[in-house]
């Protein structure tokens, strides 16, 4: 019973991180109607970037974020302006293939720059801290990262629902043509959205790299977990993405209890079964 409670709790905390992975994807699906295949690789890029900033400036992981977030924003803005704006909206498959090429390029560039060895970020004093509630032990670092993920998802939800930026985002998402008529420059707006997406990727990257060692080829799996969280929750629904992430996280950790190597397999399996039961996602509207 205690083990089950611990697995559930750890699964929920892992799932919150997956939801944060999915947040950027959820935004790009919602606003630009595109899936960025390089999403997972960009999380890994963010992790290496943080690692470089930390060793370069001798700073801690959270201090490094102050540099990493603006850098990721700039990277996203630049990528959208130079490349993605040329294919977005043309045919849904063009951005897919373009970002697929980008994903292969990023993996190999990382491999050339940092070798294929795994790395990890030093969490400092936080790493070993933990406490226990009713016999269930909880790590401070996973708990903090889960809380940060939920807070960031909440902030984004508020941003989309209550600000001028969110209003523009919803307008462009509903009908780019009409949005242009009322003065929203969709291409310039997309660049800002991608900047925001990359900023969330930066935060996700640091929280991920503090928990798990990473390597240049770790990206595709991050993409799949993000994707599952987004589709499972229902497209364009941020709280749905959180729920989807939690389901995947819990499924993975209970799966790993059944057979140690099969954790991610059970995550995928739950995704497929949920897909058969509710193709539109758990919180999606009936028609896609």
Partner 1 sequence: MTAVTLSNANSKTTLVRISAGAGLLVVATLAVLIPWFSTFAVQRLLVEVFTLFAVALAWNLLAGYGGLVAIGLHVFVGVGAYSLFTLSNQLQLNPFLLLPAAAVFAAAFALVSAWPMFRLSGAYFAVGTWVLAEMMRILTLNSPWLGAGGGMPLEAMGDIDRWTRNAGVYWAALFVGVGSLVASRQVLRGALGLALMSVRDSEPAAMASGVPVARAKIALWVLCAVMAGLAGAVSYMNTLQVTPDASFSLNWTAAAIFIAVLGGIGTLEGPIVGTVVYFLLRETFAGYGAWYFIGVGLLAILTMVAAPGGAVSLIPEKWRLDPFRIRRRMAESDPDRSASFPTT
- Which stretches of the chain bind partner 1, using CB under 8 A? 34-35, 37, 83, 86-87, 90, 92-94, 96-98, 100-102, 104-105, 107-109, 111-112, 220-221, 223-224, 227-228, 231, 259, 261-262, 264-265, 268-269, 271-272, 275-276, 279, 288
List 130's β-bridge partners, or say none: 139
H-helix segments, the chain: 2-27, 39-57, 61-79, 85-87, 93-114, 140-162, 164-174, 176-181, 186-211, 219-233, 238-258, 263-277
How far apart are CB 193 and partner 1 at their closest, in Å? 17
Q: Which CB sits closer to partner 1, 106 or 141?
A: 106
Q: Minimum Å distance from CB 273 to partner 1?
A: 8
How does 42-61 read in b/e, with b if 16+ C-beta sit within 10 Å? bbbbbbbbbbebbeeeeeeb
Q: What's the min distance (Å) between Cβ of 106 and partner 1?
A: 9
- Distances in Å between the alpha carbon of 249 and those of 13, 84, 229, 265? 8, 31, 9, 12
Of 94 and 126, CB closest to partner 1: 94
Nearer of residues 16 and 29 to partner 1, judged by Cβ: 29
- Please, what is the minimum distance in Å from the beta carbon of residue 233 to partner 1? 13
Query: Nearest approach, Cβ of 140 to partner 1 (angstroms)?
Result: 31
Q: How far is the CB of 218 from partner 1 (least distance, A)?
A: 13
Sign of the CA dihedral 193, 194, 195, 201?
positive
Asked if 52 and 63 count as a contact pair (C-beta separation under 8 A), the reply is no
Query: Which one, 166 or 220, has the nearer CB to partner 1?
Result: 220
| Cβ(288)–Cβ(235) below 8 Å | yes
In this structure, the strands spanning 136-139 and 130-133 are antiparallel
Residue with Cβ nearer partner 1 (9 or 248): 248
Distances (CA, A) of 20 to 98, 109, 146, 230: 24, 25, 9, 10
Give the nearest distance from C-beta 137 to partner 1 in angstroms: 28
Closer to partner 1 at the Cβ: 77 or 210?
Answer: 77
> In this complex, which beta carbon is closest to partner 1, that of residue 198 or of residue 266?
266
Which helix (H) or strand (E) is 78 found in, with range?
A: helix 61-79
Q: Which residue has the tokens 């420059």?
A: 185
């Amino acid at each position: 019973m205690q083990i089950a409670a611990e697995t559930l709790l750890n699964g929920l905390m892992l799932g919150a991180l997956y939801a944060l992975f999915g947040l950027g994807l959820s935004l790009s699906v919602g606003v630009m109607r595109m899936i960025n295949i390089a999403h997972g690789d960009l999380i890994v890029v963010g992790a290496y970037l943080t690692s470089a900033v930390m060793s370069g400036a001798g700073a801690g992981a959270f201090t490094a974020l102050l540099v990493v977030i603006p850098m990721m924003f700039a990277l996203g803005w630049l990528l959208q302006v130079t490349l993605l704006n040329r294919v977005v909206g043309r045919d849904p498959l063009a951005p897919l293939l373009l970002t697929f090429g980008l994903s292969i390029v990023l993996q190999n560039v990382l491999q050339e720059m940092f070798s294929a060895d795994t790395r990890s970020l030093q969490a400092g004093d936080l790493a070993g801290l933990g406490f226990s509630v009713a016999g269930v032990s909880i790590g401070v670092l996973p708990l903090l990262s889960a809380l940060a993920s939920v807070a960031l998802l909440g902030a984004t939800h508020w941003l989309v629902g209550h600000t001028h930026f969110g209003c523009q985002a919803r307008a462009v998402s509903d009908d780019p043509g009409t949005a242009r008529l009322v003065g929203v420059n969709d291409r310039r707006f997309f660049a800002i959205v991608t900047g925001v997406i990359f900023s969330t990727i930066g935060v996700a990257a640091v929280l991920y790299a503090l928990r798990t060692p990473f390597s240049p080829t770790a990206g595709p799996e991050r993409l799949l977990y993000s994707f599952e969280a987004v589709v499972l929750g229902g497209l364009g629904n941020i709280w749905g993405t959180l729920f989807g992430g939690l389901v995947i996280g819990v499924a993975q950790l209970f799966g790993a209890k059944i057979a140690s190597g099969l954790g991610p397999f059970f995550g995928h399996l739950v995704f497929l079964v949920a897909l058969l039961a509710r193709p539109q996602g758990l919180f999606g509207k009936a028609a896609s």
